[in-house]
Chain A
Amino acid sequence: MKVTLEHLTKRFPNRNKKIKADVVAVNDFTFEIPDGILVGLLGPSGCGKSTALNLISGLETPTEGKIYFDDDDVTMLPPENRGIGLVFQNYALYPHLTVLQNIMFPLQNFKGDKKMTKLAMEEKAREAARLVQIDELLERKPSEMSGGQQQRVAIARALVKQPNVLLLDEPLSNLDARLRLQTREEIRRIQRETGVTTIFVTHDQEEAMSISDLIVVMKDGVLQQIGKPQNVYDDPENLFVAKFLGTPAINVFEGKIKYGCLFIGNENVMELACKKDLEKDVYIGIRPEGFILNLDGALSLELQNVEVMGRDTSVVSKHENALSGNIRSIINAEDWINSESKLVRFDLKPKKVFVFDKETEKRIYFDKK
């Protein structure tokens, strides 16, 4: 099912009662989620992504704007009529019910002609349990299971009523690192198998990048960018998105556009295809993989440390114009020449260098020479 948001806005009264202005948790969201894909709603904590999810689920009603499932306006529809499945960060399993009873719970609420016999419900529940591979554990109580298993039960409970849309709120953040990797593959597999449109919320960009078909980046309630993970990474629209995606994080310098060239400090690091008389203060973002080791390179950095990690070598250095303390560049291990030099010089890969307006932090697009 296609999900469309139109100018969706949610304001809360400020918790600090002295401040009259409302808190805008979600600000004028407009985008479309195509049918049958996995979408990652990504942003730092407190950016309003959970509120956005609650709006889609119907647990909260928007202040303004509309939500469509396919062509139906569901903005004011209560959650139970939207046909959604919801998985919570802490799973929200009923502690006094067994796994089977937990999964059957949503089916027991069906009324009218959707009402099912007990046998049919159990069959459905077992089917859902098989899908998430917990059909061996049906008689257990949630407290007798590991976090990963509880997560699967929660997903099974959300899927059992065959929802139009599956919503996952920070589904992996309560799991340990190893389980997290495993479970995110699992979520991907289940989504592929069922083909249900799935939206999940996370603050972990790596998690979102690795399994989503589409990511939506948010900050302070404002939509920053939407697109395929690789596209967003390769082509960030503003400084925030550039900084938020990628590990190690992007290196940011203060710089200048002068004489049609890009300057960091006094060094001309790159020529740009722009008017010669344009002069502007900018931020320059360079991805760690955007550095090419070159003894006569355009950018010189003060070498701090070299970390060799098998295939790659990470060069840690400093520069007085860098915003983020250390500059990290990843180069091929074979290229590294061990020298006593305190200085290291790089050329830059044009595709890995982004220029942002210093005031608006918006991307400035150039054809690089």
Chain B
Amino acid sequence: MEKTNFEKIEAAEKRKALIGKVVTYFFLSLWGLIVLFPFYWMILTSIKSYGSYNAEYVPKFFTLTPTLQNYSDAFTEVSLGRYFFNTIIFTVLTTAAMVVIITLAAFAFARLKFKGKNLVFTLFLSLMMIPNELVIITNFVTITNMDLRNSFMGLILPSITSVFYIYLLKENFEQIPEELYKAAKVDGTSDFKYLIRVMIPICQPTIVTITILKVIECWNSYVWPRLITDDETYYLVSNGIQEIRENGFGRENIPAMMAAVVVISLPLIILFLVFRKKIMAGVSRGGTKG
């Protein structure tokens, strides 16, 4: 009797666990679908021809006659190529300049000794609390007065320093043992050479993470470019896609618009799939969107 009782308990427990598992996987998959569906839909729509898309009152979930016409339209009928190219230049220049500037600053805070260092660092930290929305007004006026509207300089200048990344990198630099610096000093290594040959290689993972996060930020930036450019030749992809939406193909050409969306989204998705672990670790260490 005893034994069968145990068996019953065991079977009931197993059933409960199984049901729990099925429910969990069901809801997780459901949310996965909600996340993925827009991506599927944009790819699907982008390979439907203009005619067939507009003929579908009830949209089809697949297409038997895929076409790349929309992609060629996206590059020829509107200046998607131009926006794309601009964004690459903007992203590369901004990220490169920022990495240089924050590395120098983080090195000064982490390694060099000078009067007022702690005070300046505290001031830097307090700058983290200033919201972008507050300073963008004056920056807009400043850039306008400097006659830098519709130029890469105007786009890049305000976003090439980040207090947060200086802080992140400084923390990382400080984890390098003091002895390494002393050893290098004894061997006659200059501060700058020590930074280049020892600190940067050791902290490379953090610098790569910062670079990737900045690239994502640059690629998606919308507000500042929108304020500072009204000449289409300097549009980035975000304002580009908005421009396409509002004045795009001369008619409501949704498949071509979706092709443009795919082209814009793809670089970051590829970047994410390649550096998945790094990006997720970096974001959980203190990145927030935007």
The answer to whether any beta carbons of A and B sit under 8 Å apart in the complex is yes
Residues of chain A having any CB pair with chain B under 8 Å? 57-59, 78-81, 84-86, 88-92, 94-96, 105-106, 109-110, 157, 161
CA distance A209 to B184 in the complex (A): 31
Residues of A within 8 A of B204 (CB): 96
B201's closest neighbor in chain A, by CB?
Answer: A96
Residues of A within 8 A of B184 (CB): 105
CA distance A59 to B204 in the complex (A): 27
On whether the beta carbons of A92 and B177 are closer than 8 Å, the reply is yes
Q: Mark B187-202, 1 if CB is under 8 A from A, else 0.
A: 1110001000110011
Q: Nearest chain A CB to B245's CB is how many angstroms away? A: 48
Q: Which of B23-48 contact A (CB under 8 A)?
A: none
Residues of B within 8 A of A110 (CB): 188
- The tally of residues in B whose CB lies under 8 Å from a CB in A reads 17
Contact of A92 among B183, B188, B197, B202 (CB under 8 A): B183
CA distance A363 to B189 in the complex (A): 48
CA distance A92 to B184 in the complex (A): 9
Residues of B within 8 A of A109 (CB): 187-189, 193
B178's closest neighbor in chain A, by CB?
Answer: A92
On whether the beta carbons of B183 and A88 are closer than 8 Å, the reply is yes
The contact sample of 26 A-B pairs, CB cut-off 8 A, is A57-B182, A57-B186, A58-B186, A59-B182, A59-B185, A80-B185, A80-B186, A80-B188, A85-B186, A86-B183, A88-B179, A88-B183, A89-B179, A90-B177, A90-B179, A91-B179, A92-B179, A92-B182, A92-B183, A94-B180, A96-B201, A105-B184, A105-B197, A106-B188, A109-B193, A110-B188
Beyond A80-B188, A94-B202, A96-B198: 15 further Cβ-contacts under 8 Å? A59-B182, A59-B185, A79-B188, A80-B186, A80-B189, A86-B183, A88-B183, A90-B179, A92-B177, A92-B182, A96-B202, A105-B184, A105-B189, A106-B187, A110-B188
Q: Is the interface of A mostly helix, strand, loop or mixed?
A: loop
A-B pairs, 10 with minimum CB distance: A80-B188, A92-B179, A106-B187, A88-B179, A96-B201, A109-B188, A92-B183, A86-B186, A79-B186, A92-B180
CA distance A157 to B184 in the complex (A): 11
CA distance A84 to B198 in the complex (A): 21
On whether the beta carbons of B187 and A80 are closer than 8 Å, the reply is yes
Q: Nearest chain A CB to B151's CB is how many angstroms away? A: 40
Q: Nearest chain A CB to B29's CB is how many angstroms away? A: 42
CA distance A157 to B189 in the complex (A): 14
Q: Nearest chain B CB to A104's CB is how many angstroms away? A: 11
Q: Nearest chain B CB to A307's CB is how many angstroms away? A: 41
Residues of A within 8 A of B185 (CB): 59, 78-80
Residues of B within 8 A of A79 (CB): 185-186, 188
Known contacts A90-B179, A92-B183; is-contact A81 B188 (Cβ 8 Å): yes
B184's closest neighbor in chain A, by CB?
Answer: A105
A91's closest neighbor in chain B, by CB?
Answer: B179
B187's closest neighbor in chain A, by CB?
Answer: A106
CA distance A318 to B204 in the complex (A): 62
On whether the beta carbons of B202 and A88 are closer than 8 Å, the reply is no
CA distance A88 to B198 in the complex (A): 17
CA distance A78 to B182 in the complex (A): 12
Residues of B within 8 A of A89 (CB): 179
On whether the beta carbons of A59 and B187 are closer than 8 Å, the reply is no
CA distance A96 to B197 in the complex (A): 10
Contact of B186 among A84, A91, A95, A96 (CB under 8 A): A84
Q: Nearest chain A CB to B185's CB is how many angstroms away? A: 5
